[in-house]
Structure 1
Amino acid sequence: MATNTRVRRRTRNFPPRRWVAAAAIGTLVLTAGCSSRDEQTDTGAGAAGALTVVDQRGETVTLDGPAGKVAFAVMPAPSIFAAVDRSYDRIVGINQSTLVANRGGMFATMFPASTESAVVAGNDFVPNTETLLQLDPDVVIQWGDRGSEVTAPIENAGFPVVGLEYGTQEDLEAWITLFAQIAGKPERGQQLVDWQRAEQAEMRAEVAAQPGPRPRAMILSRTGDTYSTTSAKGYDGFQFDLVGAELVTEGFTSESGQVGPEQILAWNPEVIMLSGFDQSTPADIYADPRLAGVSAVQHKRVYKTPLGGYRWQVPSAESPLMWEWMHRILYPGARDGALRDDIRAAFDDLFAYDLSEDEIDQVLRFDMNSGAAGYDQFRR
């Protein structure tokens, strides 16, 4: 877990939720949905049955015990929590973007209830306190580095807030550890962190053994005729280096992330990986005459990133699968079925779900990627 350098440590005290609910909406709507935490094993310190965690703000947050109901104003946190818990049962509220992702991929199949989850925040992460009051979660997961505008309304409504930070592998491992503590399953969290670290070490060794220069690659998004990308300062800087790619956007700076076709031509990536946050397809990129001279277009090396429990391109419980997919795209090899086997085993461990062959095809986006160079290596 990442070490927080802040020295501030204070425990949050929260007003009684039912009093807040009465004041806010004029009725006691919080009597339904008793928490299952009373049946959980105490894993925290302090008062009998209490559980304490230190979030990424450096705040000490105290719960009555392992949370029975958790609401998430952020993404992709719910899929990570579900992987920690191997269940969706405790998740009562999510971000609007998470709901869209849930309905578009395997998550809806694995956890049908995820397609009807209440929305507690939109893309601006501003919490819907009235919905939270109705859901009565034991804890709310929110960004901890975006100011009090997104945390204070939740705390003022009487709910503990666990604040998160985003952008590094260390942050991801901290999330896994925090969620495991909240669920009362610290050993499970350590197991998943150990897996992530072991996969990193194995990937670095494999990349070190690769001869020749690194393939030039990038992540690309398309909305209409407008393109955008990511810089090496974010998570992509970490994972493209990890899997043995030269990220062509090194040094790229843009507040919006927008990039013109001329710049993409100048970078001339050999591999383009398309964002899962838009509807772009490899066919769209091939059809754009402005990109006809790009190596990745000429050699059919444009790939839609997979969509599993969540969009693989961002830090998640499934990140080791993304690293393996990326590495095999960059350095295509024999059709050995290894990635399919790893996906099946990981989904069983993470989500307690046995994927069919067709569902693995769905995760790997064969509907869009089947004609891409080297993609036959992933066929059953």
Structure 2
Amino acid sequence: MPPAFLTTSTPRRTVLRGLGAGAAALAGAGALGACSSRDVQEAEKASGAGFTITDQRGKKVRFDGPVDRIATTIIPSPSMIAAVDGTHSRIVGINESTLQANKEGIFGTLFPESKKTATIAGADFVPNVETILKLKPDVVIQWGDQGDEVIAPLDNAGLKVIGLTYGTQEEMETWIDIFGTLLGKKDRAAEIVAWMHDEAQAVKKLVATEKADDPVSVLYLRTADGGWTTNNKAQYMNYWTELAGGRNVARDEATGTPQVSVEQILAWDPEVVVLSGFDPATPEAFYADKRLAGLRAVSDRRVYKIPLGGYRWDPPCCESPLMWWWTAQILHPSLAGRIGLRARLTEAYRTLYGHQPTQAQTDSILHLDLNAKSSGYDGFHA
């Protein structure tokens, strides 16, 4: 069994501290529901006290009272907002990709209203300003680093816009901090971040017990226009790969999400291939591709589909610590009994979402069916 975590009171911590500062190795962080300043927060909300948020563009956004209606084009943010807030009720607009994930995964079961939420943008993140204005949001959350075409129309429409940036664990922690301020639940947000710090240290400590000459070579693949793209060191995939004791074979590519050919995949010859949760690609289809028959990950049956939980586990989200443990287990199958991912997942869902997943739901999240013929995946049954 894994150690209990998120079950005892935790003091408030500085949200953006370094991952190594004061984190407990395997003991875990405290209960996210215990907010030491809840009375103050509720009093501020009741009185309509204003506040200011500095977004990741460096722009200050002033709110004169509580925020009750949130529209967001950023695909993992609704699950993060729901985890901080304990409800989906303030979210009025989402990305088409988020809606699809809500319908396919467990999030739509946890929050049924999320399967009917209005869509305000697609895969290109260009906002449908007309729809957004009809929703009358108190704030719109949009990428601040994807160019003027996605954020300027919102600013020009007179909407309050929070711009976020992508790539690192620290940036993701800032999202959680911003959501905590926006929702009047800063302590809850800080405790989620503290839990992440503790889990990161626990993963590092455990994988360090594996005596290996070199990190496990890993290739992340996402289908695109009949081919594949991958991620370099600037993307979040690189963080969870290295944290779990792996080496991203594409880390030094010049572009963030480069296209890759069959010839390049064969040249890299990774030990492990992980398939994105954003497309229908499966390990079975990958194994059946005759062009890839000579690949080490194919001959060793080490191709895996990334889980779909409250959101897809590829990008940064409030479930990212579970992604770290999952990656550690597929890279180091012998650690399965010490990781106990199913028990960790149950505890995390109970605390983040107030829901204890059934065995069948956990099987679905972990894609036991799609990964059934991949080496070591039977370790996720227990």
Q: Fold match, TM over 0.5?
A: yes
The C-alpha deviation readout for 1:28-65, integer Å capped at 9, x for no partner, is xxxxxxxxxxx954279xx9611211111111111122
Q: Report how far residue 124 of structure 1 moved.
A: 2.1
Q: TM-score, normalised by structure 2?
A: 0.85
Counterpart in the other structure of 1:343: 345
In the aligned structure 2, how far is the partner of 1:279 from the partner of 1:95? 19
SS in 1 for 2:312: coil
Kept after mapping to 2: 8 A contact 1:248/1:267: yes
Q: Report how far residue 209 of structure 1 moved.
A: 2.5
Q: What are the residue-to-residue correspondences of 1:1-380 with 2, within 5 Å?
A: 1=15, 41-42=43-44, 49-212=49-212, 213-223=214-224, 225-254=226-255, 257-333=258-334, 336=337, 338-380=340-382
In the aligned structure 1, how far is the partner of 2:335 from the partner of 2:56? 43
Kept after mapping to 1: 8 A contact 2:302/2:374: yes
The C-alpha deviation readout for 1:116-144, integer Å capped at 9, x for no partner, is 11111222222212212211111110112
Name the CA shift for 1:262/1:87 in 2 (closer, same or farther; >3 Å). Answer: same
In the aligned structure 2, how far is the partner of 1:256 from the partner of 1:247? 13
The C-alpha deviation readout for 1:160-188, integer Å capped at 9, x for no partner, is 11111111101100000000110000000
Counterpart in the other structure of 2:26: none
Q: Report how far residue 307 of structure 1 moved.
A: 0.3
In the aligned structure 2, how far is the partner of 1:329 from the partner of 1:170? 25
In the aligned structure 2, how far is the partner of 1:253 from the partner of 1:359? 39
SS in 2 for 1:340: helix
Counterpart in the other structure of 1:27: none
Q: Report how far residue 255 of structure 1 moved.
A: 6.9
Kept after mapping to 2: 8 A contact 1:220/1:273: yes
Counterpart in the other structure of 2:4: none
SS in 2 for 1:71: strand
Name the CA shift for 1:160/1:287 in 2 (closer, same or farther; >3 Å). Answer: same
Name the CA shift for 1:58/1:2 in 2 (closer, same or farther; >3 Å). Answer: farther
SS in 2 for 1:367: coil
Name the CA shift for 1:308/1:255 in 2 (closer, same or farther; >3 Å). Answer: closer
The C-alpha deviation readout for 1:88-130, integer Å capped at 9, x for no partner, is 1110000111111111111111111111111112222222122
The C-alpha deviation readout for 1:192-219, integer Å capped at 9, x for no partner, is 0101111111122223232112211111
In the aligned structure 1, how far is the partner of 2:334 from the partner of 2:256? 37
Stretch moving more, 269-278 or 337-346: 337-346
In the aligned structure 2, how far is the partner of 1:345 from the partner of 1:288? 38
In the aligned structure 1, how far is the partner of 2:306 from the partner of 2:122? 24
Stretch moving more, 312-321 or 232-241: 232-241
Kept after mapping to 2: 8 A contact 1:232/1:250: yes
In the aligned structure 2, how far is the partner of 1:277 from the partner of 1:82? 21
Across the two proteins, how many residue pairs are aligned to each other? 343
In the aligned structure 1, how far is the partner of 2:211 from the partner of 2:120? 49
Stretch moving more, 339-348 or 80-89: 80-89
Mark the runs of 5 or more structure 2 residues left unpaired by the alignment.
1-14, 18-40
State the one-letter code of the partner of 1:339: L
Runs of 4+ in 1 over 4 A off after TM superposition: none
Q: Report how far residue 335 of structure 1 moved.
A: 5.4
State the one-letter code of the partner of 1:357: Q
Q: TM-score, normalised by structure 1?
A: 0.85
Name the CA shift for 1:302/1:131 in 2 (closer, same or farther; >3 Å). Answer: same
State the one-letter code of the partner of 2:194: D
SS in 1 for 2:219: strand
Stretch moving more, 108-117 or 250-259: 250-259
Name the CA shift for 1:144/1:283 in 2 (closer, same or farther; >3 Å). Answer: same
- Bigger radius of gyration among the two: 1
In the aligned structure 1, how far is the partner of 2:56 from the partner of 2:310? 24
SS in 2 for 1:142: strand
Q: Report how far residue 86 of structure 1 moved.
A: 1.8
Kept after mapping to 2: 8 A contact 1:105/1:309: yes
Q: Report how far residue 254 of structure 1 moved.
A: 4.7
